[in-house]
Amino acid sequence: MIITKLIINNFRSFGETEKQINLSDITTLIGSNSSGKTAALQALQKMFGVTQSERRLVKGDFNIPNDVDINTIKELGLYIEVKIEFPELENEGNDGEFSVPPFFSHFTIDSSDQRPYVRMRLVGNWYSDNTPDGDIQQNLFFINVPEGEEVTEESLLPVSPHQRSKIQMLYVPAIREPMKQLKNASGTILSRILKSISWPEDMNQQIKDEMSPVNDLFNSIEGVDGVKEIIGEQWKKYHSDSRYNEAKLEFNSTTLESILSKIEVQFSPSVESNPYTVDKLGDGLQSLFYLSLVSSLLEVEEKISNNSGAALTILAVEEPENHISPHLLGKVVENLNEISQISNAQVLLTSHSESIIKNISPEELCHLRIDKTTGSTVVNSIILPSKSSDAYTYIKEAIKAYPEVYFAKLVVLGEGDTEEIILPKLLKVKEISSYDTGISVVPLGGRHVNHMWRLLNQLNIPHITLLDLDLERGGGGWSRIKYVIKELIENGYDRNKLLKVKGGILSDDEFNKMHEWKIDVPILSSWILMLEEYNVYFSSPLDIDFLMLERFPTEYKKTMRIGPRLPDKETEPDNYRKKVISSIQATLKNENATGYTYSEEQHELMVWYNSLFLGRGKPSTHIDAIAGLSDSELIEKCPEVFERLINKIRSLISL
């Protein structure tokens, strides 16, 4: 069995509009601090926590709208609902032996050809009374009507304690208390493992018989009798009742329960002569050992126990990266994935770690944020292109490579590595800290940029895109403008505004032929400026490499000890022309290119462009060139497009 949906209404940061979180075998909740990740886990804990205190609602669990005076509220309500499905029903064998029976009588279906499922809902109500915390009533119900139908009092049936205990949640908070769970206390993992063992019925008598010689040995030690006598006499001074008036000093445990309560894990070999116990481990090793105990528990319940303690165990781990070395985080995710594959286990995580998220498939991520207007949590799954699309693999791997986009307050999408070097440097000299403002510069523009726009729009993350215009290159110029406009329209922007011209609005036929338009630089520039209103900027006329070379030719040329040889224009006109033409064709990646939209000076720069950026690594060239520039030179000669882009960044981060 598996919980496939968690629905929350009026619980903590989740407001009066119910929010749905889709769950899988392993689901990771991501988002900025105080976005609702912990609240989502604790909502589930209120239903299936191991102890009563974990399940008990308190006044602070009820959401109070921002515009409501708490002193005027007389009553509050919330509900937390789950949808439980049973994939094992489609499998042969007895996979559902422990999961189906407790819930069979409460199955519901949407239609005859679909799999049955179970709905459970925790309903809580707070009432104002004469006490500071008020009165709280809470009940756990089965809902016996399908999703989409109205839930009435008649459709709610109480969940018995036995049925509720078949789903148990182990919650590991971000603030670790490893010893609390690693000791054999009631309700902990170790306790569940030991209780699953079939102990002999006369185990207590066997223990008493075996421990008697140990007690006799201690009693035979000189001085022990004196200690026992003093303890007994002193006790009788305060307690003369016939009950409990004999106080004896025992040196052993005579029951299975007392022995199990004192069991602890020890590690060897150790450099110490004394036993090396869990509490002596570092926080990181304690966390890792905790996860190994979870695996042990589930394996025991699956293989050893004849009567599983839980039909489903939910392991919820907040920020598994805490206390653990980064190089071990991949192993942690691997371990959690293994736990999630156990038939009676499901895993939920929250994380701020890029190392963790890189190892999680985007389909298993859920992004949470706070709506600035209502102050409540907004939930979004990560939606990728269709798996049949050639963009699917690219986007999936791209966002796994740059998971910081999920946490950014502003994303700047660039074409490649060059933007990652230049833009942060320009932001720094313009006194904009990418760390303080939460700006991420990532090379995910260009190919399939439309899918990145869709994702960032869905997650409500502001973004700016810097693309290469690639004038006179294949797919550049008007083709690039057409592509951007088309994708903006598909992302929901107003077509009429995007295609407005002096004579009206471009027809579909006219727009479809835009890539065939003759290059008129002034007209093309006007479209480029229009697209900047939509946060799309262009490095023109070619790309960001050519733009920087054109602005800082001396510094870039200095990065080559021996630069390209350009024949003298006056004395070797033919050789000069051949060199320039071949450089134009190489730069524009077309053997028929003439570079007619570029100036003579730009033609000559293409000779250097080939050597600097096509003949060796672009990043190293930019790093060397920028290192030779002072901050004042960068500011003074900063390309105009970057000035406009940085001004837009300032306006967005100030919102």
Tell me the sheet residues that pair with 160: none
Q: What is the DSSP letter of 139?
A: E
Question: CB-based contacts of 617: which residues, under 8 Å, 6+ apart?
Answer: none
Task: Please tell me which residue, 530 or 289, carries the higher pLDDT value.
Answer: 530
For residue range 491-518, list pLDDT tens digits in order. Answer: 899 999 999 998 899 999 999 999 999 9
pLDDT of residue 188: 63
pLDDT of residue 44: 97
49 to 282, 314, 577: CA distances (angstroms):
27, 9, 79
Task: Tally DSSP H helices, then E strands, for the chain.
Answer: 26, 20
Tokens representing 339?
A: 């736990």
Gap between the Cα atoms of 72 and 84, Å rounded? 38
pLDDT of residue 211: 82
For residue range 546-557, list pLDDT tens digits in order. Answer: 999 999 999 999
Q: Are strands 439-442 and 312-318 parallel, antiparallel or unpaired?
A: unpaired
For residue range 430-462, list pLDDT tens digits in order. Answer: 999 877 788 999 987 777 888 889 889 989 999
Question: CB-based contacts of 278: which residues, under 8 Å, 6+ apart?
Answer: 178, 179, 182, 183, 264, 265, 267, 286, 289
CB atoms within 10 A of CB 171: 20
Of the pLDDT bands very low, low, confident and very high (cuts 50, 70, 90), residue 350 is very high
Question: CB-based contacts of 433: which residues, under 8 Å, 6+ apart?
Answer: 427
Gap between the Cα atoms of 535 and 445, Å rounded? 13
Question: CB-based contacts of 511: which residues, under 8 Å, 6+ apart?
Answer: 482, 485, 499
Of the pLDDT bands very low, low, confident and very high (cuts 50, 70, 90), residue 630 is very high
Of the pLDDT bands very low, low, confident and very high (cuts 50, 70, 90), residue 273 is low
For residue range 366-425, list pLDDT tens digits in order. Answer: 999 999 888 999 999 988 888 888 788 888 888 888 888 998 999 999 998 899 999 999
Backbone dihedral angles phi then psi of residue 253, each to the nearest 5 degrees = -105, 135
Backbone dihedral angles phi then psi of residue 649, each to the nearest 5 degrees = -60, -45
CB 23 within 8 A of CB 385: no
Indicate whether 267 pLDDT > 60. Answer: yes
Q: Enumerate the domain spans of the chain.
A: 2-183+284-362, 197-263, 384-542+645-653, 559-627
Indicate whether 307 pLDDT > 60. Answer: no
One DSSP character per residue, 298-348 reads HHHHHHT-SS-S-SEEEEEEE-TTTTS-GGGHHHHHHHHHHHHTSTTEEEE
Evaluated on CA atoms 237, 238, 242, 243, the torsion sign reads negative
Indicate whether 302 pLDDT > 70. Answer: no
The gap from C-alpha 524 to its chain's centroid, in whole angstroms, comes to 41
491 to 370, 379, 380, 477, 488: CA distances (angstroms):
22, 20, 17, 22, 5
Query: Quick one: average pLDDT of 235-249?
Result: 72
Query: Quick one: average pLDDT of 192-201?
Result: 76
Of the pLDDT bands very low, low, confident and very high (cuts 50, 70, 90), residue 179 is low
The pTM for the full model equals 0.83
For residue range 41-62, list pLDDT tens digits in order. Answer: 999 999 999 889 999 999 999 9
In which residue are the tokens 């869709």 written? 454
Backbone dihedral angles phi then psi of residue 11, each to the nearest 5 degrees = -105, 115
Gap between the Cα atoms of 323 and 334, Å rounded? 17
157 to 116, 117, 174: CA distances (angstroms):
17, 15, 35
Indicate whether 259 pLDDT > 60. Answer: yes
Q: Are strands 117-127 and 135-143 parallel, antiparallel or unpaired?
A: antiparallel
Superfamily of domain 2-183+284-362: P-loop containing nucleotide triphosphate hydrolases (3.40.50.300)
pLDDT of residue 98: 62
Q: Give the N- to C-terminal CA distance of the chain in Å, as an integer.
A: 45
Query: Quick one: average pLDDT of 221-243?
Result: 77
Indicate whether 638 pLDDT > 90. Answer: yes
Tell me the sheet residues that pair with 180: none
pLDDT of residue 272: 64
Gap between the Cα atoms of 526 and 506, Å rounded? 15
The gap from C-alpha 167 to its chain's centroid, in whole angstroms, comes to 25
pLDDT of residue 112: 77
Q: Cα angle at 111 between 110 and 114, to 5 degrees?
A: 90
